[in-house]
Structure 1
Amino acid sequence: MNRKTVAVLPGDGIGPEVLDAALPVIEALGLPLDLEFGDIGWECWRAEGNPVPDRTWDLIGRSDAVLLGATTSKPRREALAELAPELRESAPQYLSPIIQLRQRLDLFANLRPVENYLGGGTPYRFCVVRENTEGLYAGLDWNHVPDGMWPLVAEHPNVRRSGRPGSTAGIRLQTSHGLDRILRFAFETARAHGHERVTLADKPNVLRQSSAYVLERLEAIAADYPEIPFEVLNVDAVALWMARRPERFGVIVAENMFGDILSDLGGGVMGGLGLAPSANIGEKGNYFEPVHGSAPAMAGRGRANPAAAFLTIGLMLEHLGLQDAAGSIQDAVRHVTRRRDRVTYDLGGSATTTEAAQAVLDACREVPQAPTAAIVTIGDELLRGDLEDSNAGNASRMLGERGVPVRVRHTIGDDEATIADAIRPSIGRDDVIVVMGGLGPTSDDVTRSAVARALARPLEHREEAWQGVVERLTRFGVAIHDDNRRQALFAEGADLLPNPNGTAWGCRAEAQGSTVVMLPGPPRECLPMLAAVLRDGLPHLPEPPEVTCVFRRTLGIIEADAAALVDELVRDSGVPVKPAYHWHYPYVDIRLGCPPEAADDLAGRLDAALADHLVTDRDRTAVQELAVLLDARGLVLDLDDRLTDGVFAAELARERDTSDGAGALGVALSGVRQGGDGTSYTGTIALTCTVRDTTGEPTAPHTGEHPHEHTYELTIPNRGPEVTTYCAQFAAWSLVRHLTGRHPKPMEESA
């Protein structure tokens, strides 16, 4: 393919930021485009008295497409005030760069695609085509009614009350030339992008005469596109249905003001202007621009959403005949926004502009992303607590072992609308959605219809499933009722999942890149079915990467401090790891899933960073660790444990295999409360555990007045009766460190 030239005009405000972030996609996809940068916007006006310099027009004239970041416009008085002093005296006329581009290049069509990039709910994909050159924005607008128009308006009752000095007027201009080319553009857009309908948004019930002429031109143009139906709707009705049922539209075409309003509404429907691209196409040129504007208050803060810039580049690539590359960008944005793991604040994330752009670039390069799952368990009995929801935990474990961690879990009662509402947000966002329960034959079993509702598909009878129900009931001598027929209803097009242990078959349906798996509730039925699906039924999921889990259990550090320390360690290591933290009094557990080749290095870094807090690298308590060491070395304790009133000794005895031993360790555990006491919980407890080895053999090289004695200290919050547990675990931890030769400095834990 011949190389094309793109004029890149970064413009003002956040325009340069979003283009800098998004333009690397051109190189990432290896596209035959040459980028030439030019000047436009407010700084050009301030320095030169012209927001679109002649050199920029020269660049536009020799380019195949124009990519615009954003421009700032201000009223005439402010514009003149910001001019360079030597230019201000000549008082040049300020004209918005956007207006200049549209007028000089005769850009009659504004195209605003609207798509469900965020996922969830019913899929929609439509566009708003806005006429740019006439309508109410034709420039026929007067501060006072001109002489020629006065006879037409003078008899209006409000004009008679206000008089000529108090009346203004504007004209909605529509011509056969302007109408025919925008209507033809709308039908061509529908044909090129597979839209099934063209909707004219007008106001024929009020603007009767001009709207009648628009309809006349619409019918004439539509005759050349017999395969594409059309309709005329009031613009206010279109706005309502865009918000309520956006999936009903294909191409919406409107005059300038109506199209302006509807196109921004489309941005709101899809999640905000940070996702909204636009194209302006004309007889003599084009330009492509993210809709969000220059947003000067956000400039330089790294918060702008680059998604609209990526999608705008995609529109430009379509125009240049690079449809496959455009599709790759759209798929990448769709993937990132539905995952929402690296998105900007406007989409609920915390990523910077650069980080969000990198996520899209990674998706374009097909850098693998970890799949995710959602689980929805159903039943009023689960909400009441009559039954434990063991299915959710077991399903989470099974999905995790398959390399599909669960992102969210819901427990829902037997209500169709609520079940559907729980499923919809995960469609298009999670790779697997597992729905369990509510597939029985009774009237309160509504999961089937809820899943169909979430998928926006009708229910259909599946004879294969019905015969399976009949065969099983007959085999066990159970009567067959008409209600059993419910168990043969499934969402249209779903793949059936036979149930070898019951009458309630399941199903699997694909929607927006998600696999929805519907299963019965009894564990002996649903869990084997889920195992079969994960083993055989999800070929689109990549094999999970090999991961080694580095686990450490810590004491004497709060979760926030541990997270801050470990997060920094992981960042510095450069290893792709997402740390997981679990606080269970008095411990903080840390898990790092990492590539096997990085595990040893990461474990060494972790041990060094947490040296004064490490208890074990196993899923054991300090008491359990101590029991293993005492049994292995044949030791007993000479214990002074008035602080826990025997709790420590009792817990240790439960964990030991024997109470015999040849050697002894003297242990004295004490605590000093600073505020509060054993019944009034406030302040802190300063714990001290002194260990004296009476075997006569040192456990590790050390120095001190007593060569076989060590004292361990820790201050903890006196938070409640559970501090007794903390004291016992601290004593055990002190003994473990003594026996393994780890003797840290005194520590203090904050509340």
Structure 2
Amino acid sequence: MNRKTIAVLPGDGIGPEVLDAALPVIEYLGVPLDLEFGDIGWECWRAEGNPVPDRTWELISRSDAVLLGATTSKPPREAAAQLEPELRKRGAQYVSPIIQLRQQLDLFANLRPVENYLGGGTPYRFCVVRENTEGLYAGLDFRDVPDEMWPLVAEHPNVLRSGHADTTASIRLQTSHGLDRILRFAFETARHRGYERVTLADKPNVLRHSSAYVRQRLETIAADYPEIISEVLNVDAVALWMVRRPERFGVVVAENMFGDILSDLGGGVMGGLGLAASANIGEAGGYFEPVHGSAPAMAGQGRANPAAAFLTIGLMLEHLGFASEAEGIQEAVRHVARRRDRVTYDLGGTATTTEAAASIIDACRSAPDMPTAAILSIGDELLSGDLEDSNGRNASRVLGEHGIAVRVRHTVRDDEAAISDTIQGCLGRDDVIVVMGGLGPTSDDVTRSAVARALNRPLEHRERAWQGVVERLTRFGVAIHVDNRRQALFPEGAELLPNPNGSAWGCRAEAQGSVVIMLPGPPRECLPMLAEAMHEALAHLPRQPERTTVFRRTLGIIEADVAALVDELVRDSRLPIKSAYRWHYPYVDIRLDGSADAVGTLAKRVDSALMDYIVTDQHRTAVQELALLLDQHDLALDIDDQLTEGAFAAKLAEERRSSGSQTLSVALSGTWQDGDRENYTGTVALSCTVRDASGERTRGLTIPNRGAEVGTYFTEFAGWSVVRHLTDHRVPEVSE
């Protein structure tokens, strides 16, 4: 394939940093593009009196597409004030770079895709097409109404009160040429992207004559696209339904000002301009730009969301014929945004611009992370505290055994709307959604109708399930009531899950890429059904790469210091690894999850950095590790221990299988500093000395005297010190 040239114009504010973060994706995807960088924007204006220098126009003229970061625009007075005096004398006039590009390249169509990248709720995917060259932004805007126009406005009652000097006017210009090409572009976009509907957003109930002509042009163009539905709606109604029911739209097309407003509204519907990409297209080319603008107040802070830059690159690749690579970028952004994996502040995360970009690139070049699940436990009695949610805990274990990480667990009352809303918030975001409880025959058992509502499917009677209910109740001599028929209702098309231990059958259904599993509440019924359902569900999930988890338990270092050190190693490695931490006094546990190669590489760096603090790579305490070592080497300890008053020896004896025939000497002591033992103030300087035939070695550690639990720290420190002695040096032969 012939290589193509892209003019990259980073621009102002956050423009350069978001493009710097996103552009490496082109190399990772192996797209045959040559990037040539040019100048545009505010600094060009200040230095040269022209925000788009001639050299930039020359670069654009020999490029196949333009990728623009962002540019800053200011009103004429402020723009003139920023010029050097010499340039100001020349009378340079500031014209927005965006306007210059659109006018000189005749880029008549602005395209803004809108999609539910964050997941949850009803899925939607539409785009806003805005006409760029006429409408209310055609430049026919007058501070002083021209004499030729005055007769048209002079009789308006407000003009009569204000007079000629205090009246302004603008003209909404619409031509057959401009209308026909933007409408045809809208229909071609619908055909190319698989949309079934084109909606013209206008104001026909007020702008009766001009809107009637627009409708006439729509009907003429629509005749060439019989497979696509077309309609005309009031722009205010479109705005309402974009928020309330975005799934009803395909392509929304509008004149310049209406389209400007609706396209930004589309960004808000998605979750913000950090996800909003745009393309400006003409007959012979186009430029592609993230919508968020230059945001000069954020420049250099590393907080800007690069997702829009990635999606903009995807739009450009699609335009240039690289459809599969464009879809790969979209899927990566979708994956990262829905899992909130290293996202910036605007999406609820803490990642920097470069960290967020790295997560998207990782998602482009590797298989998705471990599947996630959401668990919903249903019942008022769970929220009131009358019952403990053992189902949620046990379901987490079952899912974990099948390689599925539980992202969230919800406890929801017996309310159809609440259950449905919670499920919808997980659809498209989690691979598996487990809903347990509320499948009985009584009126307060509303789970099945809530699941059907969330899936947007009707309930249907399933005779097989009904016969199962009848057979079980008859077998135990239980009367069958008309209310029992509720237990045979399931969302349309759902796969039934028989219940061998009860009358409430479950079901499995797929929607928006999620598998929804509906189960009864009693543990002896739902847990075996869940285990059985998972075997089938796994067959419908994407095949996952082999993953591994490395575990380290540390002592003598606080959680914040551990996390800061390990997180920096993860960032520096640029490996697709997830780190997690757990503090449980006196330990901090570290877990690294990812591919075996990546985790193995990083684990070596972590071990080197934390060698003075790592106790074990197993889920054992220092005392348990010591007991295993002593049994292995047939050793006993002669303990001089006034610090724990015998607690260390007693705890060790509980863990040992033998008493040992050879003896090591251990002396444990502590000194209270700036406080005292009884009142739990100050710190404690711990010391543990181990003596053997080769000599003695002492380890020390100072810890806060925080409370009675420091006794646990004393014991684990003693165990850790002896373990380090035995593992740092070959165990010598010692005398009894």
How high is the TM-score relative to the length of structure 2?
A: 0.88
1:85-129 Cα offsets, whole Å, 9 max, x none, are 543322133222222222233322222111111111111111112
Partner residue in 2 for 1:336:
336
Partner residue in 1 for 2:23:
23
- Out of 678, 701, 707, the residue aligned to residue 720 of structure 1 is 707
1:440-485 Cα offsets, whole Å, 9 max, x none, are 2222222222223333333333333333333333344433333223
CA distance in 2, matches of 1:321, 1:574: 30
> Matched residue of 2:538: which SS?
coil
Which runs of structure 2 are paired with 1:29-44 in the superposition (5 Å)?
29-44=29-44
Partner residue in 1 for 2:733:
none
Amino acid at match of 2:683: T
Q: Offset at 1:272?
A: 1.3
In structure 2, the CA distance between the partners of 1:651 and 1:146, relative to structure 1 (3 Å rule), is: same
In structure 2, the CA distance between the partners of 1:690 and 1:496, relative to structure 1 (3 Å rule), is: same
1:8-59 Cα offsets, whole Å, 9 max, x none, are 3333333333334333444444445454444433333334433334444444
> Matched residue of 1:433: which SS?
strand
Q: Offset at 1:256?
A: 1.4
Partner residue in 1 for 2:734:
none
CA distance in 2, matches of 1:538, 1:601: 29
Amino acid at match of 1:498: P
Partner residue in 1 for 2:93:
93
Partner residue in 2 for 1:675:
675
Q: Does structure 1 conserve the Cα–Cα contact (< 8 Å) formed by 2:672 and 2:682? A: no
Q: Does structure 2 conserve the Cα–Cα contact (< 8 Å) formed by 1:403 and 1:545? A: no
Unaligned 5+ segments in structure 1 are 692-697, 704-709, 744-751
In structure 2, the CA distance between the partners of 1:400 and 1:166, relative to structure 1 (3 Å rule), is: same
Amino acid at match of 1:179: L
User: After alignment, is 202-211 or 118-127 more displaced?
Assistant: 202-211
1:184 aligns with 2:184: yes
CA distance in 2, matches of 1:32, 1:565: 39
In structure 2, the CA distance between the partners of 1:319 and 1:712, relative to structure 1 (3 Å rule), is: closer
> Matched residue of 1:180: which SS?
helix
Which runs of structure 2 are paired with 1:259-298 in the superposition (5 Å)?
259-298=259-298
1:206 aligns with 2:206: yes
Q: Does structure 2 conserve the Cα–Cα contact (< 8 Å) formed by 1:636 and 1:661? A: no
Q: Does structure 1 conserve the Cα–Cα contact (< 8 Å) formed by 2:204 and 2:211? A: yes
> Matched residue of 2:277: which SS?
coil
Which runs of structure 2 are paired with 1:570-585 in the superposition (5 Å)?
577-585=577-585
Q: Offset at 1:84?
A: 4.8
User: After alignment, is 629-638 or 315-324 more displaced?
Assistant: 629-638
Q: Offset at 1:244?
A: 1.7
Unaligned 5+ segments in structure 2 are 731-736
CA distance in 2, matches of 1:572, 1:249: 44
> Matched residue of 2:387: which SS?
coil
- Out of 699, 702, 712, the residue aligned to residue 695 of structure 2 is 702
In structure 2, the CA distance between the partners of 1:51 and 1:241, relative to structure 1 (3 Å rule), is: same
In structure 2, the CA distance between the partners of 1:469 and 1:241, relative to structure 1 (3 Å rule), is: same
Partner residue in 2 for 1:508:
508
Partner residue in 1 for 2:217:
217
CA distance in 2, matches of 1:125, 1:546: 33
> Matched residue of 1:136: which SS?
coil
CA distance in 2, matches of 1:668, 1:329: 59
> Matched residue of 1:327: which SS?
helix
Q: Does structure 2 conserve the Cα–Cα contact (< 8 Å) formed by 1:688 and 1:711? A: yes
Which runs of structure 2 are paired with 1:572-611 in the superposition (5 Å)?
577-593=577-593, 609-611=609-611
CA distance in 2, matches of 1:388, 1:351: 36
Amino acid at match of 2:108: F
In structure 2, the CA distance between the partners of 1:714 and 1:265, relative to structure 1 (3 Å rule), is: same
> Matched residue of 1:411: which SS?
strand
In structure 2, the CA distance between the partners of 1:447 and 1:181, relative to structure 1 (3 Å rule), is: same
Q: Does structure 1 conserve the Cα–Cα contact (< 8 Å) formed by 2:367 and 2:545? A: no
CA distance in 2, matches of 1:24, 1:604: 28
CA distance in 2, matches of 1:251, 1:598: 43
User: After alignment, is 22-31 or 529-538 more displaced?
Assistant: 22-31
Q: How many equivalent residue pairs?
A: 729
Amino acid at match of 2:681: T
In structure 2, the CA distance between the partners of 1:409 and 1:153, relative to structure 1 (3 Å rule), is: same
1:321-362 Cα offsets, whole Å, 9 max, x none, are 443333233222222222221323322233333333333333
Amino acid at match of 1:717: P
> Matched residue of 1:537: which SS?
helix
1:672-716 Cα offsets, whole Å, 9 max, x none, are 3743653x443334455677xxxxxx535225xxxxxx7665443
Amino acid at match of 1:153: V
CA distance in 2, matches of 1:611, 1:30: 40
Which runs of structure 2 are paired with 1:539-688 in the superposition (5 Å)?
539-541=539-541, 545-546=545-546, 549-568=549-568, 577-593=577-593, 609-625=609-625, 633=634, 635=636, 641=642, 651-652=651-652, 654-655=654-655, 672=672, 674-675=674-675, 678=678, 680-687=679-686
Q: Does structure 1 conserve the Cα–Cα contact (< 8 Å) formed by 2:577 and 2:598? A: no
Partner residue in 1 for 2:143:
143
CA distance in 1, matches of 2:598, 2:55: 54
